[in-house]
Every structure is written in C-alpha cells, then in structure tokens.
Chains A and B, each alone.
Chain A
Amino acid sequence: MKLTLKIILGFFVSVNLFSQNKTFPTATSVIKKIDFNMLSKSQIINSEMIVYGKRKSRTIRSRGYSEGLNKNFTEYLYPEREKGTKMLRLQDRLWIYSPSTDRIIQLSGHLLRQSLMGSDLSYEDMMEERKLSEIYNATIVGEEKIEDRDVWKMELTALVDDINYFKRILWVDKQRYVPLKEDLFAKSGELLKRISFYNYKKTDGRWYPRKMNYRDMLKNGKGTDFIVNEIKFNVSIPDQYFLKSTLKE
C-alpha cells in the first residue's frame, strides 16, 4: 500500500515539475538566455540612429566594433558633420576624437551622463554592457501578450551597488528568449527610460533585434531609434581598433 502511494505521489510530483519546467523556467535561466542572444564575444555592427526632435529628425550612421564587454570602437559615417568622429571605450573610460578640432578628449564624470549625439541615450547607457544575470536578481511576475507574442513579465532588482538602474522590468518573448520591451527605473521607482525592441532576426544562432527605440520617459518626444543594418557575431577584430592612437588615423 505504502509503495503504491509512493509511486502515485512520485508520478504527480514529477508531472508537476515537468509542467513547471515547460511553462515557467527559472528567471535566472531566462536572463542567461537573454544574455546569450544579446551579447557575444565580439561583434561588428553597421547601424543607424534616428533622433526625433521637436521639428525634424536626424539620422546618424555608424560602424561599431566591440570585443567582450569592455572594448568598443565606433566610427561615425554620416551625416557629413559627424563623419570621421570616432569613439573608443576601454573598460570605464571613453575617448572621443573629433576631426573638426583634430583632438581627442576623454569623457568622464557628468559628461558621461550627457546625451549621445543629441539622442535619448547617454554615453553611460552605451557603456553599461555587463551581463544581466551577473548584476540583477530576476523574478518572473506574470505573463502577457505583446504584438501577438507570448511574453513573461520579469522584474529585475539590482544585485550590485554600482549600477545605473536599480530596477528593470522586462517583457521577454517566451519562444525566443529576447526582450520585446524594457522599462528602466530609478531607486525611487520612477520610470526613467523605455526601450522597445522590434524586428528580431536570427543570425549565427541568436535572435537579435534589428530596431530598438530608446525613450527618456522624463522628456517629451518620440525618443531615438537605433536600427541595425548589418551585424556579425564572433568575428576576429584586429587589436589596433582598440588603441587610442587609432582614433586619429
């Protein structure tokens, strides 16, 4: 009798566990998969940034090279006024070369909080590229639908002190493990920024959005679109791209 009871109980427990695994994976495993999709060892990206102003919008084209989480080199290609401007980030330091002045300046302190080329992104936003799974504690708080796709609503709370946003809410595609929308909050709970992700395509085994909209929720306006025209993952990038001396070349 006892054995039969154990078998029945064991059956129900295993069925329950199996069903939980199917519908509600652990939040940590979800954000690890997001990290896998969004981050890579290296990447080369041709992109377009559309900054929506009050009267007109501006388009800025650039090519970016990044290796790991700490090395990034961006060269601006368009418009003519920005052409030749280069930006190099190594760890938490950022240098900008402007061809009009033929000078390299290092940005630090409050300047990093300034807008990147008039967009809704700050230099610091661009610099934070740590893995979500390493800096946030995640929980799945619900299920919703965004543009006909089933998503988990996840709440991420900071695990570390030195972090830009204390809390994030992510709407994660259940099938592709990618965020479709992300809200970034201040410590007080005030919504500061919203990022919307569109047009996911699979490249080299990972889902990556071809369009993102960054919006500073404290400001009026449509925000800034970041459009990925071409992306290559895990390609070999010569070390010279990440040298300060390259900025002037």
Chain B
Amino acid sequence: MKLAFTLSIKNIFGAKLRTFLNVFVLSFSFVVIIGLKGVMDGWDDQARRDSINWQFGQGQLIHEDYDPLDSFTILDGKGLIPENISGLTPILVHQASIYPQGRMLGATIKGIDLSQKSVLLPTKALINSKYNYPVIIGKRMAESSKLSIGDEVLIRWRDKNGTYDANRITVVDIFDSNVPAIDSGQIWMSIETLWQITGLNNQASFFIADKNYKHKPINFWKFNSQEELLKPISDLVAQKNGSQSVIYFLLLTIALLAIFDTQVLSVFRRQSEIGTYIALGMTRQKVIGIFTFEGSLYSVLALILATIYGFPLLAWFADVGFAVPPADQKMGIPIADTIFPIFGLKLVFGTIFLVLFASTVVSFLPTRKISKLDPILALKGKKQ
C-alpha cells in the first residue's frame, strides 16, 4: 500500500500540467455541485419556513367543498364554524372587484380573526382602526393595484344572495411576505366585518391551526397537516433539483472523462513499467490497484483544491445569498428576494462520496487492460 501510494504520488506530480488540469476540473465540479445544491436546499428551507409562518401555521382545517387552488369552489366552499373548537383561526374567503384609479381588478377578500397568532399577518393593524373598512394587503397586491398605506379604494362584492354591494376600503398596512398565496390579489379584513357586509354570519372557508390545536374529526371539515400542505413545495424543489441534475451530470462527465483519458494514456504509455512490476513479482491485481489508486488520487487532490478556494467562496456565497430576479418572484411560489444557500453535512459529504466513488470507478475501467498484458512484450516495449 505504501509502495502504491509513493508510486502514485510520484507519477501524479510528475505529470504536472495534466494533473493540474484534471484536478482543477474535478474540483470545479465539486464546488459548483455543492453550490447549486446549497441554493436549492436554501430555497426549500426558506419556502417551508415562510409558508409555515405566513400561510399554513401548524396545519389547516378546510371545508370539504373548498379547494384553495380552485376559485370555482369559493362560492360554496364554506360552512358554519363548528362549536367547541380551539386553537384554530377562522378565515372566510369571498370574491370581489376593486377599482383603483378607475381600473377594475379581481380580488379575493379574506376575513380573519384579528386576535390570531397562528400566522405573521399583521392583523393587529386592523384593531381599533378609525376607518370603517380597514384592510391590509401584501407588497405584490400593493404593487399591482398601485395602492399605498392610507389609500382608499372602492370595492364591489356580492352578498350571500348575490346582490351587488360596494363601499370604500382603506389600506392601513402593507406587509412584506415571500408567500404569494396570501398576497397576490388578496385583501385581508376583519372576519366580523366580512360577515357583516356579506351576511355570511359565523361562516368560514378554512381554519389555520396553532400549536394548541389537537385534531379530532369534524363533519364537513378535513384537516391537512403541515407536511401535507408543504408537500407541493418540497415536490417542486425536488423537481427543480432533478432538472439541475443535468448540469451536475455534465460537469461530472467532463471531469471524469479527463481522468478516464489520463488513465487510458497511462496504461498505454507505461507498458514497460507495468511489465517491470509484473517481472519483479507483483500480481496483476496489485498493478491494477496501483493505477486505480493513482486515478482516484485525482479526486482527493481535487477535494483539497476545492477546499482551498471553494470553502471561502461558498462561505461568502452563503453570506450574500443568491439574488432572485423579480420575474421569478411573480411565479406564484414562495421565493424570497435573496436565497441564502445552506451547505449541510449531508450535502457536502454526499457530494464528496459521489465524486470519489465515480472517479475510482472511472480510474479502474481502463486499467482492466493490464490483466491481459503480456509482461515479456511489455518489457520489450512493444505496444499491445
């Protein structure tokens, strides 16, 4: 083993530029794979955290006829608030149109219990307001409707019988959330005000659970746990991760191809050396071992090089984050202005293992030829 190590080091450092190129390309793959995967993990973490804090709480109790992703269900997807429930914040969803600056915009009014603590929505701003119909909106809604704090806007809705009603609402706060589902096209007001203006007294479309909620089955209502609600986000990130695998594959392929070529060249050019090893009594397997070890040493050196320049680079990246273009933030998925990558142990060691394993396999494949070499011809310097 010691002999193999000494020989490998000598051969690798003897190759100079070829070794440097191999090691650099492989180290680049290390850094890029860890960097990209770190961004995805960071996004997953941020999206889950924001969704829990702003939208899902500890889970949601949803009326069986209401589907948050289907606006057709808003009309019928509500029911009377069940009796004797605790740890739940009721939310009633109702459709409306607003008319900022003489334009018509479709909107969803969401009535919420103002004393809630399940999510970070700043509902306290609505308590004791001097306005008749105070509301809060998100930054996206404020941008699309061009509304600011203190602005009054006309809103039109239908009551429980379908009769049009209209009045002026006042924006008392604009919240900054990364979750478009509680922001885009949404207007938040007191649930009691919404009951009063629609006649849908004591009704709710869904509830957000807080930490005190303990679920017991309730007729007409179904409970979605936090994990169930977060699944679409995890699935989306996993899908994005999958599509990024193409980049990882290409980078690794380029790096491994370089190692493969180097190994093929070594076996071809160093046949006299191989013949000498065998003539001196080494088994073919041992010679294959020396060459394979030499090839896999590239990945170890790449790991060292990647640590030298990659560690400070990725640490800086984790600090400043990855700025998300504004267009991507309007896609309807929870995504922050800046994603801060997370480089977990699983990610780092997983990538190291993957690259070490792949480079070892790639190093081994060309050396199989050694087992078929005739040592006499090899010693004579005849190429086989």
Contacts and interface: CB of A to CB of B under 8 A. Distances in A.
Nearest to A190: B166
Interface string B156-181: 10110111111100000000000000
A188 B99 CA distance: 16
B156 A192 contact: yes
A186 B154 CA distance: 12
A152 B358 CA distance: 91
B101 to A, nearest CB: 8
Given A216-B104, A218-B154, A163 B71 contact: no
Given A109-B71, A110-B71, A161 B97 contact: no
Contact of B156 (A110, A111, A218): A218
Contact of B74 (A110, A166, A192): A110
A219 B75 contact: no
Interface in A200-218: 216, 218
Given A163-B161, A186-B156, A188-B166, A219 B99 contact: yes
A164 B163 CA distance: 4
Contacts of B159: 187
Contacts of B102: 218-221
Given A190-B166, A218-B99, A220-B103, A161 B161 contact: yes
Contacts of A115: 104
B201 interface: no
Nearest to B160: A161
Given A113-B97, A218-B99, A220-B103, A187 B75 contact: no
A164 B162 contact: yes
Nearest to A120: B104
Contact of B162 (A111, A163, A192): A163
Contacts of B165: 166, 186-188, 190
A165 interface: yes
A155 B106 CA distance: 30
Contacts of A164: 162-164
A38 interface: no
Contact of A108 (B72, B95, B104, B156): B72
Of the listed residues B99, B103, B161, B163, the one surrounded by the most CB atoms of chain A closer than 10 A to its CB is B163
Contact of A163 (B95, B106, B163, B166): B163
Contacts of B99: 218-219
A161 B167 CA distance: 20
A108 B73 CA distance: 10
A164 to B, nearest CB: 6
Given A186-B164, A186-B165, A218 B104 contact: yes
Interface residues of B, number: 23
B163 A161 contact: yes
Contacts of A111: 72
B103 A110 contact: no
B162 A188 contact: no
A211 to B, nearest CB: 24
Nearest to A191: B166
B268 to A, nearest CB: 63
Contacts of B167: 186, 188, 190
A231 interface: no
A109 B72 contact: yes
Interface in B77-127: 95, 97, 99, 101-104, 106
Interface in A82-114: 108-111, 113-114
A161 B164 CA distance: 11
Contacts of A187: 159, 163-165
Given A108-B72, A110-B74, A219 B104 contact: yes
B154 A110 contact: no
A165 B164 contact: yes
A45 interface: no
Interface string A165-204: 1100000000000000000101110101000000000000
A218 B163 contact: no
B162 A219 contact: no
A220 B167 CA distance: 17
A192 B161 contact: no
Given A186-B166, A219-B104, A162 B95 contact: no
Nearest to A185: B164
Given A219-B99, A219-B102, A219-B104, A109 B74 contact: yes
B74 A165 contact: no
Contacts of A192: 156, 164, 166
Contacts of B161: 161-163
A27 interface: no
Interface in B142-164: 154, 156, 158-159, 161-164
A158 interface: yes
Given A186-B156, A192-B156, A219-B99, A110 B163 contact: no
Contacts of B166: 186, 188, 190, 192, 218
Given A190-B156, A190-B166, 12 more contacts: A109-B95, A162-B163, A164-B163, A164-B164, A186-B165, A187-B159, A187-B163, A188-B166, A190-B165, A190-B167, A218-B166, A220-B101
11 contacts: A109-B72, A110-B106, A162-B163, A164-B163, A166-B163, A187-B164, A190-B167, A192-B164, A218-B99, A218-B156, A220-B102
Interface of A: 108-111, 113-115, 158, 161-166, 184, 186-188, 190, 192, 216, 218-221
Q: Which 3 A-B pairs have the closest CB atoms?
A: A220-B102, A190-B166, A186-B166
